[in-house]
Structure 1
Amino acid sequence: MIEAGATLGDLRSDPIRTAILLDFDGTLSEIALRPEMARPAPDAVRLLGDLSRAYGVVALVSGRRAEELRELVPVSSVEIFGLYGLAPVVGAGAVRSILPAVEGIVARHPGARLEDKGPSVAVHFRETADPAATEAALESELAGIADRGGLTLLPGKMVLELAPRTVPGKGSVVRREVLRHRVAACLYAGDDVADLDAFRALEELRTEGILTVKVAVSSEETPRRLIESADVVVQRPSGLLELLRSLLN
């Protein structure tokens, strides 16, 4: 791991040419029993507004729908990239066609819940009696549907998501925004498997001369490989907010 203070100091030295890209659930918000129950950590919205006025780019990159993110973070100067950067794309129709089959699978697992995101479908199993056993069963069943439907199966914290294979991924969003805004530095913070894609993009950008900082937001459910890949590890969303506040000092 790098020395966080020195690296963050580099970001502070040229804020206009720095991008701050952040996941939401588990990063700016504690993981909730259900997605609709999640709220930004105390002071997070105000802090994001302050950062967006000081830094060149501040954006959320999340698996949530963009409309949900905007309601949770009503700051117009913060950019929003929902559904992993997935806009209306080719392949979304395949998700609609397999929806009845997914509903049937969910019905066989008491406590499992289906979240219809439009271009993708998520199955949450946090409220099942045995999440580990349910995950194994769901993964097997949903993988078959994904293969037959030409879809990809994305794992997460107590969730499995079916999405078009054309889903850009967080790494594509990170790379695109860094190059589009021509920034010299980028910090990305996340807490889950999907954030590894963003970390890989930062590693590639680092070889191209961009200063990058990979921040893992750690909790009991954070994947070990995300923590091992990070430059900086903070504890829970409160730890990330402390780090972000230091960027304003």
Structure 2
Amino acid sequence: MSRYLFDNLEDLKIFKNDPKTAIVTDIDGTISEIAPTPEKALVTKAMQNMLVKLKEKFSMVAVISGRSALNAREMVGVEGLLYVGNHGMEFLKDGKLSKHPDVEKYIPVIKKTGQKLKNGDISSMKGLIFEDKGICYTIHYRLSNPSDNPREKILKTLHGDPECKKLNISEGRQLVELKPPISCDKGTILHDIIEEYGLEKIIYLGDDITDLDAFDKLKQMQNEGKIRGSSILVLSSEIPSTVKKDSTYFVNGVDEVLKFFQWLFN
């Protein structure tokens, strides 16, 4: 079971005092408060300024998000970070965007299926938001009435569509997503970042069930002696309490993430 971060800061001084440390973080629910709609989410000026300072102090600050890489950069608003979008299927570094080589062939069927969903039976359900992210397609149901059972209806519709059998169907906080059937998650992408950049120490922050893969990969690589790492879960009422056991530490919300970043910098 993870421990409360601010009761254990002494354990993290090995990261704080080493410029080789890398910070890897999710966006929504981690460095930005969860918002009713994706476009209303905001990274505050205080958080932006802190990310700039961390980038100057440490070897790397990377952002991994379910958003597209371009949207992630636009939202975070800090140049010089490594932006990883669509759950690791695209990278944006120094203004250059690159995609996983296997995604292109699936984009047409994802767009076609997404459009069919947007115009189909579930579109009559109030509060649904349909988001085409280029590589992935997301249906948000945060604004729907829970009594309408939006999650169950969305999943039933997707699993009943023959086109979806060619794709991956996954879930996040109040959303269901269509993805290319590629073995790519936050764990594999964290592994690739560590290997490519020769990282020695890393702090990973996330808030969702999709971050479990990164927590587990970091733990595995640490046990193998390949990295010194700590994972931090940002708690919320929307994720199962079982997620808590997979991270090293936890904090209570985005404000405490900012507080931790301030401690790291000073």
Q: TM-score, normalised by structure 2?
A: 0.87
Cα deviation, residue 114, structure 1:
0.5
In structure 1, the gaps of 5 or more residues are none
User: In the superposition, relative to structure 1, how do residues 143 and 208 fare at CA in structure 2: closer, same or farther (>3 Å)?
Assistant: same
Moved more, 155-164 or 95-104: 95-104
Any conservation in 1 of the 2:25–2:206 contact (CA below 8 Å)?
Answer: yes
- Per-residue Cα deviation, 1:17-44 (whole angstroms, up to 9, x for no partner): x211000000011100000000014511
Secondary structure in structure 2 of the residue aligned to 1:194? helix
Moved more, 52-61 or 83-92: 83-92
1:214 to 231, 244, 251: 231
1:97 paired to 2:112: yes
In structure 2, the gaps of 5 or more residues are 91-98
Secondary structure in structure 2 of the residue aligned to 1:52? helix
Aligned partners of 1:132, 1:233: CA distance in 2, in Å? 33
Secondary structure in structure 2 of the residue aligned to 1:128? coil
1:117 paired to 2:128: no
1:136 to 134, 152, 157: 152
Match of 2:207 in 1: 191
Match of 2:14 in 1: 10
Deviating runs (4+, > 2 A) in structure 1? 1-4, 90-94, 143-149
Any conservation in 2 of the 1:124–1:159 contact (CA below 8 Å)?
Answer: yes
**Identity over aligned residues, as a percent?**
28
Aligned partners of 2:135, 2:121: CA distance in 1, in Å? 19
Counterpart mapping for 1:1-249 below 5 A: 1=2, 4-16=8-20, 18-87=21-90, 88=99, 89=103, 90-103=105-118, 104-130=120-146, 133-145=149-161, 148-166=164-182, 168-209=184-225, 210-249=227-266
Alignment root-mean-square deviation, CA: 1.8
Any conservation in 2 of the 1:191–1:218 contact (CA below 8 Å)?
Answer: yes
Aligned partners of 1:242, 1:132: CA distance in 2, in Å? 39
* Residue identity opposite 1:25 in structure 2: D
Any conservation in 1 of the 2:155–2:176 contact (CA below 8 Å)?
Answer: yes
Any conservation in 1 of the 2:187–2:215 contact (CA below 8 Å)?
Answer: yes
Secondary structure in structure 1 of the residue aligned to 2:62? strand
Aligned partners of 1:143, 1:15: CA distance in 2, in Å? 48
> How many positions carry a matched residue from both structures?
248
